C-alpha cells in the first residue's frame, strides 16, 4: 500500500476537519432529520461534498460512498475497491457541542477495509492505519506546532482473566443494552465519550479495552475504525463474534458490533449475552 496515498488522505481529513470545526465554533449550521429520524446538518453535507471532490481528484478511478450520498446497489454491487466516508461521525455530538465528533475515511478492497483515517478536529488528533503496516496516532504539539506520530497498540492487561476492563461507552447508548450482554462478575470501568469512531480509537490506542455498540449504525461508522483497531492488535466483530464486511448486500446497515482489545482476554466470557 502506498504511503504517499496515506499522507494525502491525512491531509484531506485535516482540511475537512478544519472546515467542520469552523462551522462548529461559529455554530454556523442548520439541522434537519433524515428519513430514519437521525439528524443531519448543513456541515455534514458540505463536508461530504468537500471530501468527495478531494478524493476524486486524488484517485479519479476509485468510486466514493458517503453516508450523505448513498450510491444505489445496482451501481456499487460490482465495486471491488472504493472510498467509504463518514463526513461527521457523531453528528449529535457536533450539534450538542461536546466536541466528540470525527471525520472518517476508509479504503475498502474486496469487502474489507485496507486503509483508514479518523480525524478528531477539536483535539487535532489523527488516527491512521494501513493493512500490514500498523496503526499510528498523530497529534499536533501545542508548543512546537509540529505533528508527532506514535505507533499505537491495544492495552495488554496484566491478568486477562481477572483484571478490571475499561469499556468505552456512549453518552447516548442505553447502558442497560450493554450491561445486559456483559458478565456481571467481571469488573469494568466506564469511559464515556462520543462517536463510534472515537470510541474505537480509544481501544486502538489502549485508553479503553473494549466497546460494544447496540443499535443502528452504518458501514461508514466502522470502516476506518476496523482497520485501525486491527492494525493495533485488536478486532472489530459482530456481537456474535463474526467478521464485519462491506458492500456485500444492498443494505449498508451494520450488525450490533464489538471493538475488542487484548486478544488474550476471553471476550466470549466477558460478553456472554452477545453470543
Computed on alpha carbons and rounded to an integer, the radius of gyration of the chain in Å comes to: 18
pTM of the entire predicted model = 0.96
The pLDDT assigned to 275 comes to: 62
Q: Are strands 39-41 and 147-152 parallel, antiparallel or unpaired?
A: unpaired
The pLDDT score that the predictor gives to residue 174 is 62
Q: How many CA atoms lie within 13 A of 220 on its CB side?
A: 21
CA–CA separation, 223 and 220 (whole Å): 6
Assess contact for 166 and 189: CB atoms under 8 A. Answer: yes
**Interval 200-204 mean pLDDT:** 97
Q: Give the tens place of pLDDT for each residue, 23-40.
A: 999 999 999 998 888 899
Quick one: how far is CA 34 from the chain centroid? 21
pLDDT tens-digit map of 223-260:
999 999 999 999 999 999 999 999 999 999 999 999 99
Domain ranges of the chain: 3-152, 165-274
Question: Are 3-152 and 165-274 equal in CATH topology?
Answer: no
Specify the CATH number of the domain 3-152: 3.30.540.10
The alpha-helical segments, DSSP class H, found in 124-241 are 175-179, 196-205, 223-231
Domain covering 165-274: architecture: 3-Layer(aba) Sandwich (3.40)
Confidence of residue 1 (pLDDT cuts 50, 70, 90): low
SS3 179: helix
Amino acid at each position: 500500500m502506498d504511503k504517499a496515498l496515506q499522507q494525502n488522505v491525512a491531509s484531506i481529513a485535516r482540511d475537512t476537519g478544519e472546515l467542520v470545526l469552523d462551522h462548529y465554533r461559529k455554530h454556523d449550521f442548520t439541522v434537519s432529520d433524515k428519513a430514519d429520524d437521525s439528524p443531519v446538518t448543513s456541515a455534514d453535507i458540505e463536508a461530504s461534498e468537500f471530501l468527495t471532490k478531494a478524493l476524486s481528484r486524488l484517485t479519479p478511478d476509485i468510486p466514493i460512498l458517503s453516508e450523505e450520498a448513498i450510491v444505489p446497489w445496482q451501481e456499487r454491487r460490482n465495486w471491488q475497491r472504493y472510498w467509504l466516508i463518514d463526513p461527521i461521525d457523531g453528528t449529535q455530538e457536533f450539534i450538542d457541542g461536546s466536541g466528540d465528533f470525527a471525520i472518517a475515511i476508509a479504503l475498502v478492497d474486496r469487502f474489507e477495509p485496507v486503509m483508514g483515517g479518523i480525524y478528531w478536529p477539536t483535539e487535532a488528533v489523527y488516527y491512521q492505519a494501513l493493512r500490514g503496516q500498523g496503526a499510528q496516532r498523530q497529534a499536533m504539539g501545542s508548543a512546537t506546532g509540529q505533528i508527532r506520530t506514535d505507533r499505537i497498540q491495544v492495552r495488554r492487561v496484566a491478568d486477562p482473566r481477572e483484571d478490571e476492563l475499561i469499556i468505552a461507552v456512549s453518552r447516548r447508548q442505553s447502558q442497560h443494552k450493554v450491561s445486559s450482554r456483559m458478565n456481571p462478575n467481571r469488573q469494568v470501568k466506564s469511559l464515556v465519550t462520543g462517536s463510534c469512531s472515537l470510541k474505537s480509537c480509544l481501544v486502538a490506542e489502549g485508553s479503553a479495552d473494549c466497546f460494544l455498540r447496540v443499535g443502528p449504525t452504518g458501514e461508514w461508522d466502522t470502516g476506518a475504525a476496523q482497520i485501525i483497531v486491527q492494525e493495533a492488535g485488536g478486532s472489530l466483530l459482530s456481537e456474535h463474534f463474526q467478521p464485519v464486511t462491506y458492500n456485500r448486500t444492498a443494505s449498508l446497515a451494520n450488525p450490533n458490533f464489538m471493538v475488542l482489545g487484548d486478544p488474550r482476554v476471553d471476550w466470549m466470557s466477558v460478553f456472554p449475552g452477545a453470543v
